[in-house]
Amino acid sequence: MKLLALGAAAVAGLALTAGTASADELPSFDFTDCPAPPANADPGTWRCEAFVSQGKLTIEGREIPLGEMRLTFSEGRVSGQYAQAFGALRHEPVRVPGLAGTTLQLRYGGYSDFQSNDARRGELDVYAVLRHPLLRKECSIGTAAAPLHTVVHDDPALPPTVLSKNPPTFHFGVVDPGLALPATQGCGPLGKLVDRQLGLPSPSEFRQTTYVQYKQL
């Protein structure tokens, strides 16, 4: 599920819709996880982007609300070339409809690319940890070694909107309509039951609405 991504290069090339939002309508942005610019970074070119998103995963027509996700990364230039550094993906466990007592938590899968182009908004590898007293602790959809690869595109229903120029703040939607979810792994004897209840393996759709704010580094 490659979430989010509205990189600097993308913002520069977009005809963004103007908008306004009061302070109490915006989420709080946390830059604690921002990676510092590398030692050889071009001075004055680096900034951190903090995302606050609400997502949902649709499997065979059934929605799993994913709640709030927070992501940070830094970007800038090194020797005149675009570069980026991943910060963190933070996601609290959410209940899984149809599986009483089961929670799902997204974790970073080790790869990200938030430099947008004409083909997509960005890419991110993640995996989903499933927790239940009767499931083994290794139970997951995808793994750290074999994560889910998401490629997100602009959601026409929620085009990018400028909410503030100082600090730069935006609102937009993304969707990955072609995310293929495998069967669960490491769940133990109840793994097949979980797969049946979730309809796995299966094509799925990942959709996200996101606020992002920039901070110069």
At residue 24, the pLDDT reads 58
List pLDDT tens digits, range 70-129.
Answer: 999 999 999 999 999 999 999 999 999 999 999 999 999 999 999 999 889 999 999 999
The DSSP-derived string for the chain is -------HHHHHH--PEE----GGGSPP---TTPPPPPTTBPTT--EEEEEEEEEEEEETTEEEEEEEEEEEEEEEEETTEEEEEEEEEEE--EE-TTSTT-EEEEEEEEEEE----SS-SEEEEEEEEEE-TTS-TT-EES-SSS-EEEEEEE-TTS--EEEEETTEEEEEEEEEEEEEE---BS--TTHHHHHHHHT-SEEEEEEEEEEEEEEE-
pLDDT digits (tens, 9 = 90+) for 173-189: 999 999 999 999 999 99
Instruction: Compute the mean pLDDT over every residue in the chain, rounded to the nearest whole number.
Output: 90
Say how far apart CA 76 and CA 42 lie, in whole Å: 8
pTM: 0.87
Indicate the pLDDT class of residue 156, thresholds 50, 70 and 90: very high
Amino acid letter, residue 45 = T
pLDDT in tens, 17-30: 445 555 558 999 99
CA separation for the pair 35, 215 (Å, rounded): 12
Q: Using omega within 30 degrees of 0 as the cis cutoff, is the peptide bond preceding 201 cis? A: yes
